[in-house]
Structure 1
Amino acid sequence: MIVGRSPRIRQSFQKAWSALIALFFWDLAVTIFYYISPFKAPALPLTIFGTALALILGFRVNSAYSRWWEGRILWGAMVNVSRSFARAVLAYLPDTADGRALGHLLVRRHIAYVHALRCQLRRQDPAPDMRRVLETDDLPELERRNPANGILDGTDHAIMGAVRRGWIDTIQQSRIEGLLVDMSNAQGGMERIKNTPLPAQYRAFPKYFTRLFCILLPIGLVETLGMATPVGSAVAGFMFLAVLQIGDDLVDPFGNDVHDLPLSSITTTIEGDLSQAIGLPAPPPLQPVDGILW
């Protein structure tokens, strides 16, 4: 996620440069044809076209931003429930060697859980982070299609084992189970966003209409701008292409691009808070690199 104070105009230009070059040469060809040909450009209702396109792009960007912001809300809820889970298991389990060992194991399992969830959403291998946190290669959860959900299942079984031993009562178990349900609900919301793309109409039509508008733009402007048409049309076209690119950048908030949510930073924050809760050194918080927080 870009956290710098100024927008990255250069990055937007780099993504749209091929379309801008093609647009500029098309504008230049239209301008030259206007001056050497007896035919005159038809009067085009560019204001109506531009207004309609702006509304379409606005709906698309709002839809994409809603997905991005909902993803951030879900991860914010995951941070809160993670702290509550660690606090609950450490407080409820007995202050004995076995009780503390189980509490520390459950906290470490949850740290592995958030890292596994991050990797699943980014389509990465969760095994290295899980092995690092749990300090073992024996991870049956990796055999499952959804390792993060497998960790939750194992944690729930461990909690029920503590209930059978009499270490926690049913009221405390119900409280912890509620936290696990909150984790599962947040994970389900993230997976819904990740696995459900925008409808095809939202993805295809804005691109078609934007390109068509950029093609018609110099034809409608050449009589007014004259020799300045290539520059003026290219600048106006870049504005619409940039708004179109914003929607593309925000539609998948759980990717590994500069515009996506900083999942590595969020999971590192969770690991730091929970590690300190069990007396382990916390990893340093991630810092922005060139204005980008991963």
Structure 2
Amino acid sequence: MIVTAVPGAKQVIREIWKPLAVLFVWDVTVTATYYVLPFTAPSLPLTLFGSALALVLGFRSNSAYQRWWEGRMMWGLMINASRSLARQARNFLPEEATDLKRTIVLRQIAYVNALRCQLRRQKPDTDVLRFLSEGEATPALKRTNVANGIVDGTGRRIDIARRQGLIDTIQQAAMENVLVDIANAQGGMERLKNTPLPNQYRFFPMVFTHMLCILLPIGLVETLGFATPLGSTIAGLMFLAILAIGDDLVDPFANTLHDVPLSAMCRTIEIDLLQAIGDEAPEPLAPDKDGVLW
């Protein structure tokens, strides 16, 4: 996620130079053709066409941002639930169960990192494996859904603690409720990841936007003359930018610079949970040199 108020010049150029170059070449071609081989530009209802397209793109961008914000809200719930689970493990379990407290807390840190990797379509990385012992990691890594395997193991450990008399049934129920919140948040994230916007929301806005960019210089050349490449390119770039906003936000977990900063939020959970059990914690992740927080 870009956290700076104004994107860097290099990043802006990297984002727009290709569509800008294509638009400018097309607009120059139409303008040159008009002056070399004069033609009468058809009367195109560009104002009506552009207004209708702007509405469609606005609805599409709003839908994409709603998905992005829902993903961020679910990770906010995950952060809160992780803190609650660590607090319950620390307060409910007796002093003689220190190892179990640490196991539950470390498994939760491994879990959120495993979920991050799954949502980004990556294999579990070292941030997952370093918080699990080999015996604990193997059963979870054999599962198709590694994150779910980790949280299932946490639930079993809580049940074992109740059977051993370390916690009572009320305390077990309270911890299970937190695990349910975690599972619900994961399910919502997987729904967002696996369910794209309907095809109509993706295909038709793209077709109509490119169609408008093709027609713009033809409809404006008689009015703007030699200024057509400048005016038409800027107008077309605005519509392409709105189209790109929807593409950038529609998948909040795609591991691009426009996505929800999963790595930073996993680090936040790691810091809070390690400090909850008295361990030394790393520093929060900072934006990179381009102002992007991953």
- Is the shorter-chain TM-score for this pair beyond 0.5, marking a shared fold? yes
- Structure 1 residue 123: deviation in Å? 1.1
CA contact (8 A) 1:83 1:273 kept: yes
**Following the alignment from structure 1 to structure 2, what is the Cα–Cα distance between the partners of residues 26 and 101?**
68
CA contact (8 A) 1:286 1:293 kept: yes
**Following the alignment from structure 1 to structure 2, what is the Cα–Cα distance between the partners of residues 13 and 59?**
27
- Structure 1 residue 82: deviation in Å? 0.6
Residue deviations 1:18-70, cap 9 Å, x none?
A: 33222212211221222233421011111101001101111111111011000
Pairing of 1:214-225 with structure 2 (within 5 A): 214-225=213-224
- Structure 1 residue 125: deviation in Å? 1.5
Bigger shift: residues 137-146 or 55-64: 137-146
Residue deviations 1:170-201, cap 9 Å, x none?
A: 11111101000000000000000001111111
Pairing of 1:167-182 with structure 2 (within 5 A): 167-182=166-181
Amino acid at match of 1:122: R
**Following the alignment from structure 1 to structure 2, what is the Cα–Cα distance between the partners of residues 39 and 252?**
45
Match of 1:188 in 2: 187
**Following the alignment from structure 1 to structure 2, what is the Cα–Cα distance between the partners of residues 38 and 67?**
48
Amino acid at match of 1:128: T
- CA separation of 1:9 and 1:247: change in aligned 2, threshold 3 A: farther
Amino acid at match of 2:20: L
Pairing of 1:87-166 with structure 2 (within 5 A): 87-96=87-96, 99-136=97-134, 139=137, 140-166=139-165
CA contact (8 A) 2:31 2:229 kept: yes
Task: Please report the RMSD computed on the Cα atoms of aligned residues, expressed in angstroms.
Answer: 1.4
SS at match of 1:133: coil
Match of 2:15 in 1: 15
**Following the alignment from structure 2 to structure 1, what is the Cα–Cα distance between the partners of residues 107 and 219?**
63
**Following the alignment from structure 1 to structure 2, what is the Cα–Cα distance between the partners of residues 275 and 146?**
25
SS at match of 1:134: coil
Amino acid at match of 2:82: S
Amino acid at match of 1:90: R
**Following the alignment from structure 1 to structure 2, what is the Cα–Cα distance between the partners of residues 127 and 268?**
14
- Structure 1 residue 8: deviation in Å? 4.9
Amino acid at match of 2:251: D
SS at match of 1:34: helix
Match of 1:280 in 2: 279
Residue deviations 1:96-153, cap 9 Å, x none?
A: 2xx1111111111111101110111111111522221124365210000001000111
**Following the alignment from structure 2 to structure 1, what is the Cα–Cα distance between the partners of residues 39 and 173?**
80
Match of 1:65 in 2: 65
**What TM-score does the superposition give when structure 2 sets the normalisation length?**
0.95
**What TM-score does the superposition give when structure 1 sets the normalisation length?**
0.95
Amino acid at match of 2:163: R
Across the two proteins, how many residue pairs are aligned to each other?
292
SS at match of 2:205: helix
CA contact (8 A) 1:16 1:241 kept: no
Match of 1:292 in 2: 292
**Following the alignment from structure 2 to structure 1, what is the Cα–Cα distance between the partners of residues 217 and 9?**
23
Q: Which runs of 5+ in 2 are unaligned?
A: none
**Following the alignment from structure 2 to structure 1, what is the Cα–Cα distance between the partners of residues 99 and 109?**
15
Bigger shift: residues 115-124 or 31-40: 31-40
CA contact (8 A) 1:12 1:242 kept: no
Match of 2:33 in 1: 33
Residue deviations 1:224-264, cap 9 Å, x none?
A: 11110011101111111111111111111112111111100
- Structure 1 residue 7: deviation in Å? 3.5
**Following the alignment from structure 1 to structure 2, what is the Cα–Cα distance between the partners of residues 9 and 199?**
34
CA contact (8 A) 1:131 1:137 kept: no
Match of 1:267 in 2: 266
**Following the alignment from structure 2 to structure 1, what is the Cα–Cα distance between the partners of residues 25 and 175?**
64
Bigger shift: residues 267-276 or 21-30: 21-30
Identity of aligned residues (%): 61
**Following the alignment from structure 2 to structure 1, what is the Cα–Cα distance between the partners of residues 61 and 10?**
20
SS at match of 2:131: helix
Pairing of 1:230-269 with structure 2 (within 5 A): 230-269=229-268
- Structure 1 residue 11: deviation in Å? 3.4
